[in-house]
Amino acid sequence: MHRIFTTSVASVYPHYVAKVERKGRTKAELDQVIEWLTGFDEEALQRHLDDDTTFEDFFADATLNPNVSLITGVVCGIRVEEIEDPLMQQVRYLDKLVDELARGKAMEKVLRA
């Protein structure tokens, strides 16, 4: 089991916020991306952050967006569409979306609209 699976989402979330804000994006945009991916509403996302939910439990509770297969590209040198472990792939989907948001990609493209 990879250590990210047992890491709390709340411990990584501030790093996501800092990354997107450094690039001129907002926490609200980050939350919108996370909510699009996971199917959580604002309250559910906040509850997971408050409860220190692990990535494993976070994604177990999520209903992934049907367009998640449209997320492609490389994160940490690995193509996300080729990752075999479903949980690792979900974590990397999130990483990829955060990267795209931070790089200034238009929100409709990040959300695969």
Domain ranges in the chain? 3-104
Superfamily (CATH) of domain 3-104: uncharacterized protein sp1917 domain (1.10.8.290)
**C-alpha angle 6/8/13, rounded to 5°?**
140
Mean pLDDT over each residue of the chain, to the nearest integer: 96
Q: pLDDT band at 40, cuts 50/70/90?
A: very high
Q: Residue 26: which residues within 8 A CB-CB, separation 6 or more?
A: 20
What share of the chain has pLDDT > 90, as a percent? 96
